[in-house]
Amino acid sequence: MNLYYKNKKKINFSKMHGLGNDFMVINCMKENFILSSSIIKKLSNRYTGIGFDQLLLIENSYSSLCDFNYRIFNSNGNEVEQCGNGARCFGLFLLLKGLTNKNKILVSTKNRHLIIEFLPNNMIKVNMNQPDFKFYNLSTFKNILYKNFSIKLLSENLICSLVSIGNPHCIIKVQSIKNAPVKIIGKNIGKNPIFPKGINVSFIEILNKNNVKLRVYERDVGETKACGSAACAAVAMGIAQKLLSNIVEVELLGGKLIIMWKGFGTPLYMIGPAEHVYDGCIYI
């Protein structure tokens, strides 16, 4: 063996994406790889590493009720609770690697369970559970529900809404997403002390009751081509405020998702594609 690789561990991975939101996916079912934050940062670098928005780990289920466990790490090494585009790529990986032959699987995440269903034409449907508008434990606010509220930002009062889809989201309605100050506002809200764990910030342009445009600044990552959980959060907010119908097409920078929600007390569904880019290995 080449001396360079002698004391290094070989890790096989797949590069995948959901509407341009890209992932490194590792199967940890036979060997549980422990990757530090510093290693994840190096791997996520788009110039000297593999390059990705999030790292996804596939693990054996900790419960007899679930088929698999699903862990998500942002590019800075922080573990997060949820990733909608990642869930679809997670499901496609299982199919491509022959790890499941089911049409529908149940997976556990850091704080909830997801049902992933395989549809024709490489489309994947995810039951994202019920949106949470109470926002407990996500900020210093209590029981905000789905109403608008104001945040003091850069000497101005910014009107927005809060909702959790397993991870925290701040939704801002704009007339046009094209000129929205995504980076400035997203970065500043994400660092606001009222959100001690950070927050994803979305800018929504409502075209009509069935169609919206969305740009997303993800916490620890920056603006991404797409964010599935943000699309779910934005549509849930729109439906709760009676601005949108129960089935909405969301146009993100990387493509389109279909979000369906019948309202309070019912689960929210996301439908969209997932793509396998390549398989590789790296020595760490």
What single-letter DSSP state applies at residue 171? E
| Backbone torsion region of residue 19, taken as left when φ is above 0, otherwise alpha when ψ lies between -120 and 50, otherwise beta | left
**Is pLDDT at 61 greater than 90 in this prediction?**
yes
Instruction: Report helix, strand or coil for 198.
Output: coil
Which regions of 66-178 does DSSP assign to beta strands (E)?
68-74, 79-80, 104-108, 113-118, 123-127, 149-153, 156-164, 168-173
The annotation status of 246 as a binding-site residue, yes or no, is no
What are the tens digits of pLDDT across the range 97-144? 999 999 999 999 988 899 999 999 889 999 999 998 876 555 455 545
Mean pLDDT of 244-256: 98
Mean pLDDT of 18-39: 93
**Is pLDDT at 273 greater than 80 in this prediction?**
yes
Rounded to the nearest integer, the mean pLDDT of the chain is 90
Is the separation of the CB atoms in 260 and 253 below 8 Å?
A: no
Inter-helix orientation angle 228-240/84-96, to 10°:
130
Q: What is the pLDDT of residue 154?
A: 66
The annotation status of 228 as a binding-site residue, yes or no, is yes
Mean pLDDT of 132-157: 64
Task: Give the active site residues.
Answer: 83, 227
Prediction pTM value: 0.91
Per the document, the length of the chain is 284
The annotation status of 229 as a binding-site residue, yes or no, is yes
Instruction: Report helix, strand or coil for 200.
Output: strand
Mean pLDDT of 179-188: 91
Q: What is the pLDDT of residue 246?
A: 98
Q: What is the pLDDT of residue 150?
A: 73
Q: What is the share, in percent, of the chain residues with pLDDT greater than 90?
A: 73
Give me the long-range contacts of 157-162 (CB less than 8 A, separation at least 24).
Answer: 158/185, 158/189, 160/189, 161/237, 161/241, 162/133, 162/135, 162/138
Mean pLDDT of 155-178: 89
Spell out the domains of the chain, with CATH numbers in brackets: 3-129+274-283 (3.10.310.10), 149-265 (3.10.310.10)
Of the listed ranges 80-89, 114-123, 130-139, 256-265, the least confidently predicted one is 130-139
Is the separation of the CB atoms in 16 and 53 below 8 Å?
A: no
The annotation status of 77 as a binding-site residue, yes or no, is no
Q: What is the pLDDT of residue 144?
A: 52
Position 33 confidence tier, pLDDT thresholds 50, 70, 90: confident
